[in-house]
Amino acid sequence: MFRYSILLILFITIPIVAIGQSGGIIKGTIYNNEKTVAGANVIITQLQKGTPSNNDGTFKINNIIPGTYTIVVSAVGYKKYSQEITIQEEKTINLDIQLKAKTEQLDEVVVTGTMRETFVKDSPVKVAVIKPQRLQQGKTSSNIMDLIDNVSGLSTQLNCGVCGTNAIRINGVEGPNTAVLIDGMPIMGALASVYGLNGISPSIIDQVEVIKGPQSTLYGTQALGGVVNIITKNPKNTPTFSVDAYTKSTKESNINLAASPQAGQLSGFISGNAVRMENYFDNNGDSFNDVAKRSRISLFGKGILKGKNGEQRLNFATKYYNENRTGGVKAFSDDLRGSNQVYGESIYTERAELLTDYRPAGLNQQLRISGALTYHSQDSFYGPEHYDAEQGIIYGQVTWDQSLKDHFTLLTGLTARYQTYDDNTPATSNGTDKRFIPGVFTQGQFTYDGLMLLGGLRLDHHDEHGFVTAPRLSVKYSTSNNTTFRISGGTGFRVVNVFTEDHAALTGSREVVFAENLDPEQSRSITGSIKHILPFSGNPLTLGLDGFFTRFSNKIIPDYDQDPNLIVYENLNGHSVTQGFSIEADQNFTAMPISYNMSFTLMDVFTKENGQKQSLTYAPDFTGSWGLTYWQRSWDLKASYTGNLVGPKRMPDNYVQNFGRDRWSPTYATHDFKVTKEFTNVNSKNGLGIETYISVENIFNYTQGSPLVDANNPFGAEFDTIYTWGPVIGRTFSIGARLNIR
């Protein structure tokens, strides 16, 4: 029924393009001095409607409902241009727009690297910024975890071949070492890192900011491997109402509704997302569903209250997520949860979040008071094994940003984090785990003549471990507007939660054993980068080279090989290292409507214990990604092709010895293709924008085969769900439509 509702929406909305009367028109020519600029993006922000300029620099946007709007023009190699315009019925506005040249396309505003708003090019810490359009360049999904592979150095690791859980890896580092923030708040705790990320829809994302390497100085524990900060949408840049719906050949259906109400100085954004996939299919022949069934509802609301001068005073957001996920053999259903006769895995997840940020009037935005409250509940069965857990987090932060002299600024802050965690495993056999972690940090930034120095120190107190320090130092130097060097060093610290370390702690039939009291993991890291712009006569090519090295101590690595019936957890009597480099290229041609991006990361991820070096399981030797986009302007059509390359991974030895599986996975690549067609029209009351899209994912139908071990005996001691290294879903087709109303 859900799927048919979506199809009904598609067939109702698409014919709307034929309804209406002519509105106003904007046309013009874009110049740089006396030279025209081709391929510039011209957008009416309130309508999310626009067009690229033609080869002669001209553009035209038809059928615009009368009103006052902001038009924004952007192009690679040029500074962004904006202008307020007023549209009248059946009137044409002619514009001659002059763009000023710049040598970098790094004018996005970011906050993650220094906890203050700055441009990407000015940040002493390298921050990668990914827009939702880039995430969904070649794919269609309501889940950010399905799209993150498009980001250089980031990959997802499937941790369970039955229930479909996954985690983000940054440069090969395991998922729990990545701190995931929502609007700068570190509220994705240990339990949520397993399932919580799957509830974040791209429809609420304004941009994703990624930093590779430890960031514990600003964000505390869990930031050993890096930070992924998800910035939610600003209401002023969203349509009044929008609908986005799609359906897939796997019989997954999705619908997203959003609205942006305004009331005086208060603006809001409300979004609701529903996903349903209840189809059983077994293409790899292991008698288990290839994809977990799931029904998910995710609600999001955000409000911004401005002061009398238009400055932001209060920002608050709330999110609710509820999911029922089921995987297993065909006969399994919810009423068989916990069965020891019919194998299945059933996960009920419920999560709620509340975030707020307040900037008192009269202090020039220097004082910020932020807070977050989260609740996460997990009720799961993995075969007959029951996992029931709850986690709560209260987080508060106060920061003061002060300019002391022309070249020096100081940021100081106080944080307090109180978290509770309780489950029915040996991890909390002594009662609910309660932790209160107060902290203080300070950060100084000095800037002079192309040189920028950033130093910081954090001091946290943990009841079990005492005071923990996390220093860092970053240096940025620009030899010219075209070339920038960055180098950063710092430390990280994390208290572990075993369930999030390895999902196999509860899946399968192994017994979990703690060989000792687990000490917290710590890391020391250094990263460096070079970014250079080659102008190429108005077709600038951005090149980047990054190097990274992180050394982990007290590393917690589960041992699958001591005993096939056990998973033994203990601190590594040695150390673990992640090192390597990555290269990136990004170019947008102005003479023809084509842009491309590509990246390649080479990694050496290993442990060294008692003089023996061994590659870390599931860490690929290399990864790569690429994308190519072509615009057919006369048809308002965009075609995108993306791909991912994954190198070999070492698999657990037990599977090799007992089941004849390969010790190393093969190198493979996946390919995706997406076509988007835009329609625009307007009726007498509403401005409408409609686009439809079709995508083909995993074009060449490449899959790894069954990710299960001993699938014929799921209640036996040898059964396991984590022989996972590649795609388990083959070629998938998607069709959808998006409707925006002013």
207 occurs within a structural domain? no
- Domain final position from 80, 98, 116: 98
Q: Which residue type is seen at 195?
A: Y
Query: What distance in Å separates the CA atoms of residue 720 and residue 723, rounded to the nearest whole number?
Result: 8
Query: Is the full-model pTM beyond 0.85?
Result: no
The beta strands (E) that lie in 359-450 are given as: 367-382, 385-405, 408-423, 433-448
- 611 and 711 co-located in one domain: yes
- 45 and 136 co-located in one domain: no
229 occurs within a structural domain? yes
CATH number of the domain where residue 67 is located: 2.60.40.10
CATH number of the domain where residue 652 is located: 2.40.170.20
- Give me the pLDDT at residue 102, please: 57
For residue 401 the two structure tokens come to 């940003």
725-740 pLDDT tens trace: 999 999 999 999 998 8
- 464 and 561 co-located in one domain: yes
Report the chain's mean pLDDT, rounded to a whole number. Answer: 83
- 422 and 532 co-located in one domain: yes
Helix (H) or strand (E) holding 98: strand 92-98
72 occurs within a structural domain? yes
199 occurs within a structural domain? no
Return the half-sphere exposure (C-beta side, CA atoms, 13 A cut-off) of residue 601.
Answer: 29
Query: What distance in Å separates the CA atoms of residue 576 and residue 226, rounded to the nearest whole number?
Result: 16
pLDDT of 104 > 60? The answer is no
160 occurs within a structural domain? no
Report how far apart, in Å, the C-alpha atoms of 406 and of each of 124, 402, 409, 432 are: 17, 11, 8, 50
Dihedral of the alpha carbons of 202, 206, 210, 216, in degrees to the nearest 10: -110
| Average pLDDT estimate for 94-112 | 69
- 411 and 483 co-located in one domain: yes
- Domain final position from 98, 113, 134: 98
**What are 677's strand-pairing partners?**
637, 692
**Ranges 110-124, 268-282, 581-595, 637-651: which has the least confidence:** 110-124
pLDDT of 15 > 60? The answer is no
pLDDT of 11 > 50? The answer is no
170 occurs within a structural domain? no
- 618 and 661 co-located in one domain: yes
- 81 and 128 co-located in one domain: no
Name the domain count of the chain. 2
Q: Which residue type is seen at 450?
A: G
- 358 and 498 co-located in one domain: yes
Q: Which residue type is seen at 134?
A: R
Query: What distance in Å separates the CA atoms of residue 657 and residue 562, rounded to the nearest whole number?
Result: 12
Q: How many CB atoms lie within 10 A of CB 675?
A: 15
Query: Which pLDDT band, with edges at 50, 70 and 90, does 20 fall under?
Result: very low
**What are 256's strand-pairing partners?**
244, 273
Q: Which domain holds residue 248?
A: 124-142+224-741
7 occurs within a structural domain? yes
- Give me the pLDDT at residue 103, please: 42
649-680 pLDDT tens trace: 999 877 777 788 899 999 999 999 999 998 86
- 10 and 55 co-located in one domain: yes
What's the N-to-C CA distance of the chain in angstroms? 29
Query: What distance in Å separates the CA atoms of residue 406 and residue 371, rounded to the nearest whole number?
Result: 31
pLDDT of 376 > 80? The answer is yes
- 481 and 519 co-located in one domain: yes
**What are 448's strand-pairing partners?**
451
177 vs 729 pLDDT, higher one: 729
For residue 396 the two structure tokens come to 């508060």
**Ranges 77-86, 195-204, 714-723: which has the least confidence:** 195-204
Query: Which pLDDT band, with edges at 50, 70 and 90, does 545 fall under?
Result: very high
- 586 and 645 co-located in one domain: yes
Query: What distance in Å separates the CA atoms of residue 736 and residue 695, rounded to the nearest whole number?
Result: 9
415-471 pLDDT tens trace: 999 989 888 876 677 788 888 999 999 999 999 888 999 999 999 898 877 888 889
The backbone torsions φ and ψ at residue 688, rounded to the nearest 5 degrees and listed phi first, read: -120, 145
105 occurs within a structural domain? no
- 431 and 540 co-located in one domain: yes
Contact (Cβ atoms closer than 8 angstroms) between residue 615 and residue 632: no
In this structure, the chain runs to a length of 742
